[in-house]
Amino acid sequence: MIKRLIAVAAILGGCAAVQPPAPVSEPVPAPVPAPPAPFENAAVASLVDGARADVAAGRLVNAAASLERALRIEPRNPRLWQELARVRLRQGDYAQAESVAARSNSWAGNDSRLRAENWRLIAQAREARGDAAGARAALEAADRQR
Amino acid sequence: MSRFRNLWRRLSRYGTFWRYLRYAALAVALLAAGFTLYLDFRVRSEFEGRRFALPARIYARPLELHAGLRISPASIADELRQAGYREVPREDEPGWFARRGDSIEIALRPFVFWDGPQPAQRVHVDFENGAAASVRDAQGRDLPLVRLEPVPIGGIYPANNEDRVLVRLNQVPNHLVQALLAMEDRNFQSHHGFDLRGMARAAVNFVRGRGLQGGSTLTQQLVKNFFLTPERTVQRKVTEFIMAVLLELHYDKSEILETYLNEIYLGQDRDRAIHGIGLASLHYFGKTIEHLTLAESALLVGMVKGPAIYDPYRHPQRALERRNTVLRETRDQGHATMKEYAAARAAGLGLKPKASMGTSPHPAFLDLVHRQLRRDYDEADLRTEGLRVFTTLDPRVQAAAERVLERKLAQYDREKRFGPSGLEGAIIVTDSQTGEVQALVGGRDARYRGFNRALDAARPVGSLLKPVIYLTALAEPSRYTLVTPIDDGPFVWKSRGAPDWEPQNYDRVFHGTVQLRTALAQSYNAATARLGTEIGVERVLATVKRLGIERRLKPFAATLLGAVELSPLEVAQMYQTIASSGFRAPLRAIREVTTQDGRPLKPYSLEVEQVFPAAPTYLLTAAMQGIVREGTAQSLANWLPPESAVAGKTGTTDEQRDAWFAGFTGDRLAVVWIGYDDNRAAKLSGAAAALPIWGELMAGLGPEPLAPPRPDGIENVLIDPQSGLLADLLCPGALELPFAQGSAPVERAPCASAVGVAVEEVKQQATSWFKRLFGR
């Protein structure tokens, strides 16, 4: 602990490499949830639109297939994985819903909103499988993403 | 003859002649009636179903064109050519493309995909800096996404490799039918299955020395092809006659004609038999039957008589003369005007460039598709139901893999560096994130349909198993980190009932205490064996299983160093799980299947399962990047720049019998195996023989840099590479290495100043300190 304090002191004392955040005195308003940003890639956006229309029409298999097409274009896009997790949940494929949501989390970086949503999806999937304790744990994880 | 005369005499003598004759006549009549009934049953039951066996048709993945896609006009052109598109604009029908400078114009044919039909469409693509800059329709509107028609890559064929594409009579151009009837059966519309006038004409012509012509009607020909064996006997001729008459009794002319057109044999493409005018039209002219010209129709009709003799590819002159004979006959019969005749006669053969593929140009990949299909479909259905199978094959990747393996092995053969000529190899390329198999090569002759080494050659994997040991170790961050010291001194493993196991290092030198990451980077055997036995063989094998190996491996210590046989496909599965952060996705060669008429069947969807925590997988990947950066795979720098940050592992087996390289970039995973089929001792090594093939292949595909997502609970710490202790920015050559939170070394390296602390940690400390201070 002492070593760390020394280190912090040294940083404050003169190291310019690390910029501490500027102190803010006024209270910060609670963040307003922004609508999810549209998909940048037009091809991906059109596939996601198609998938959402398919979901609305109950064509879940087609929706999943469109999202897979989108994932082939942007395999590292956590929001695509999340869309797919949502479709799997609706399909009643709870194991895949959970796995795919976890995959989304692995690409989510610092996007806490996205992570929280993934944990909520995982909670629903676990709940549906009768894993109440697991669902609670997932909801707690969702709450921690702040 | 005399015996009959005796019988005759005896019968007359006994006076019972007439009675016997009546019995005999009755018996014959009954037999004939029975036979006819039997034939009638056959004709009706077989013709009724009229079920042509249709092969399952296998397609590559469709190319998804969109603005921003990294692709050259040349590779789009390649793919369109393979799909049977021609490089000549034809205003009246789709199925062509034209390249103009930095753009390409495509007239897409309609195509039924798994999720529905896509209409014919004109697409204009502009390119800039090696990527598609825009994709527009005929009106200049931006199209977000266009699927090109997928390249057909073969089929799963019925007996005799019969291939056909069914057509309806109303799709067939009139002039084709007229030319056919003019040549083969002028009285088709009026006869009852046999044609006395035709037979008489054939006989007269024969007597006049005009050669032997078949007097058979189309109906008789159909009966012959449909029901009978090809031997020429009187009995068969009689049967044919009766069946033809029966056929005409039960069915009308158009049904018979349609069946004939779909049945007829029209040539051979290697081991694949071209049947029916629907397929012949595609095979010879690259167009659907509706678009055949009179000249093209005449060429096909001319081939009916002898598809081999009049093969337009092999005997263009003979085929042309035959076609002109057909045209003349058609005109003489009044089915073509003089003007039509003259135009058709003046036309060239109009053949499409021959893209011969036999039953498949990529038999090894097809083999994998077939095996995966067999889990869900009957073999008989696959061979007869005309299923349409959409696979994951990427034609560009497949072609690159085939080329590099063939060229490199030819070079190795010439140099004889690794052993005598006759080296073999296998390659698998997958999408590292989804587990889709993009390419699979089962041997140096990629067209050869034989031993599929990618799937069936189970070979010792050598050091390819080492990453699994390190992964198992790194899952216990309190015991093992990337810099944990490991003893690479002489190692002896004693177990009851087995000889002592004393693994040697590849360079026959023991290296003393080394860091864990170095032991993997340099592939030290003694250190790895010590580490593996410390963790426990059983636990390592449990990891192997979680990564996706279903084969049970023997729980011997020697297994740790790869004394275990796996196929390249299994290796790819194991590495795929590592490449996608511990999420196992079963390797898939199929995406979707539809029925013959496009009805979707169960899709083979993407499935992932987290089988290993992300954090140790991330640490292992960093260590595997070290193998390429400074270890046994350093020579990969000859093909790929350091920024690509590739992770990979070399594998060499006892007596240098096998050379392996397995690794992944940001978007693909590939496994290369090289060795001899007879498993002989050689001078192979993973780095010298397999790695160059991997490097050349991947470099040609323009890989995405590898940057796996950093999982929670991992921090980057500056490390002094020599001591493995904490470094700071003043340390020369300091390395940023990942550690599970709290597992990084706390001792400072000699080079580090007094405040040398993990950069990340300081940032975090500072932040939380501020948080506490200001309540933020």
How much is the mean pLDDT over chain B? 90
pLDDT confidence tier of residue B213, bands split at 50, 70 and 90 = low
Residue B448: the pLDDT is 83
Q: What is the pLDDT of residues B406-452, one digit of tens each?
A: 999 999 999 999 989 999 999 999 999 999 999 999 999 888 888 99
Among the listed residues B296, B273, B295, B294, the one whose alpha carbon sits nearest the alpha carbon of residue B286: B296
Residue A21: the pLDDT is 41
Q: What is the pLDDT of residues B577-623, one digit of tens each?
A: 999 999 999 999 999 999 998 999 988 999 999 999 999 999 999 99
The more confident residue out of B729 and B91 is B729
Q: Please say whether the beta carbons of B207 and B199 come within 8 A.
A: no
Residue A22: the pLDDT is 41
Mean pLDDT of B735-754: 89
Residue B625: the pLDDT is 98
Most A CBs within 10 A among B63, B145, B621, B706, hence the mutation to make, goes to B145
Distance from CA of A75 to the nearest CA of B (A): 7
Query: What is d(CA B457, CA B478) in angstroms, rounded to the nearest whole number?
Result: 39
Q: Please say whether the beta carbons of B674 and B694 come within 8 A.
A: no
Most A CBs within 10 A among B134, B755, B764, hence the mutation to make, goes to B755
Among residues B281, B297, B360, B463, the one annotated as catalytic is B463
Q: What is the pLDDT of residues B644-675, one digit of tens each?
A: 999 999 999 988 999 999 999 999 999 999 99
Q: What is the pLDDT of residues B751-760, one digit of tens each?
A: 886 554 555 5
| DSSP letter assigned to residue B419 | S
Percent of chain B with pLDDT over 90: 69
CB atoms within 10 A of CB B17: 13
Q: Do A43 and B606 touch (CB under 8 A)?
A: no
Q: Do A18 and B614 touch (CB under 8 A)?
A: no
The more confident residue out of A24 and B703 is B703
Among A102-111, B196-205, B380-389, B492-501, the minimum mean pLDDT is found in B196-205
Q: Do B608 and A20 touch (CB under 8 A)?
A: no
pLDDT confidence tier of residue B10, bands split at 50, 70 and 90 = low
| DSSP letter assigned to residue B481 | -
Query: DSSP states of A91-115 as a string?
Result: HT-HHHHHHHHHHHHHH-TT-HHHH
pLDDT greater than 80 at residue B504: yes
A47: which chain B residues are within 8 Å (Cβ-Cβ)?
145
Mean pLDDT of A100-122: 95
pLDDT greater than 80 at residue B97: yes
pLDDT greater than 90 at residue B372: yes
3-state secondary structure B78-128: HHHHHCCCECCCCCCCCCEEEEECCEEEEEECCEEECCEEECCEEEEEEEE
pLDDT confidence tier of residue B92, bands split at 50, 70 and 90 = confident
Tell me whether A4 touches chain B (CB under 8 Å).
Answer: yes
pLDDT greater than 80 at residue B8: no
Residue B192: the pLDDT is 87
Residue A18: the pLDDT is 37
Distance from CA of A33 to the nearest CA of B (A): 19
Query: What is d(CA B604, CA B155) in angstroms, rounded to the nearest whole number?
Result: 19
Distance from CA of A35 to the nearest CA of B (A): 23
Tell me whether A28 touches chain B (CB under 8 Å).
Answer: yes
pLDDT confidence tier of residue B287, bands split at 50, 70 and 90 = confident
pLDDT confidence tier of residue B771, bands split at 50, 70 and 90 = low
Q: What is the pLDDT of residues B102-149, one digit of tens each?
A: 999 999 999 999 999 999 999 999 999 999 999 999 999 999 999 999
Question: Which chain B residues in 165-224 lie under 8 Å from chain A, judged by CB atoms?
Answer: none
Mean pLDDT of B562-573: 95
pLDDT greater than 50 at residue B302: yes
Q: Which residue of chain A comes nearest to B592, CA vs CA?
A: A65
Q: Which residue has the tokens 């009995």?
A: B235
Query: CB burial class (10 A; 0-12, 13-18, 19+) of residue B186?
Result: middle
- Amino acid, single-letter form, for residue B666: G
Q: Which residue has the tokens 């030319």?
A: B179
Query: What is d(CA A125, CA B185) in angstroms, rounded to the nearest whole number?
Result: 69
pLDDT greater than 70 at residue B763: no
A138: which chain B residues are within 8 Å (Cβ-Cβ)?
none
pLDDT greater than 70 at residue B768: no
pLDDT greater than 50 at residue B280: yes
Question: Which chain A residues in 100-119 lie under 8 Å from chain B, judged by CB atoms?
Answer: 100, 102-103, 106-109
ipTM over 0.90: no
The predicted model scores a pTM of 0.84
Among residues B79, B162, B184, B263, the one annotated as catalytic is B184
B709: which chain A residues are within 8 Å (Cβ-Cβ)?
76, 106-109
Distance from CA of A109 to the nearest CA of B (A): 7
Mean pLDDT of B551-571: 92
Query: DSSP states of B486-508 as a string?
Result: EEES---EEETTEEEE-PPPTTS
pLDDT greater than 90 at residue B91: no
Tell me whether B592 touches chain A (CB under 8 Å).
Answer: yes
Q: What is the pLDDT of residues B533-547, one digit of tens each?
A: 999 999 999 999 999
Percent of chain A with pLDDT over 90: 70
Tell me which long-range contacts B612-615 makes (C-beta under 8 A, separation of at least 24): B612/B471, B612/B475, B612/B543, B612/B546, B612/B547, B612/B577, B612/B582, B613/B475, B613/B582, B613/B711, B614/A106, B614/B581, B614/B582, B614/B709, B614/B711, B614/B712, B615/B477, B615/B711, B615/B712, B615/B713, B615/B714, B615/B740
Mean pLDDT of B560-585: 95
B114: which chain A residues are within 8 Å (Cβ-Cβ)?
65
Residue B210: the pLDDT is 60
Q: Please say whether the beta carbons of B465 and B544 come within 8 A.
A: yes
Among the listed residues B275, B291, B266, B264, the one whose alpha carbon sits nearest the alpha carbon of residue B350: B291
Query: What is d(CA A65, CA B605) in angstroms, rounded to the nearest whole number?
Result: 7
pLDDT greater than 80 at residue A67: yes
Distance from CA of B599 to the nearest CA of A (A): 13
Helices and strands (DSSP H and E) totals, chain A: 7, 0
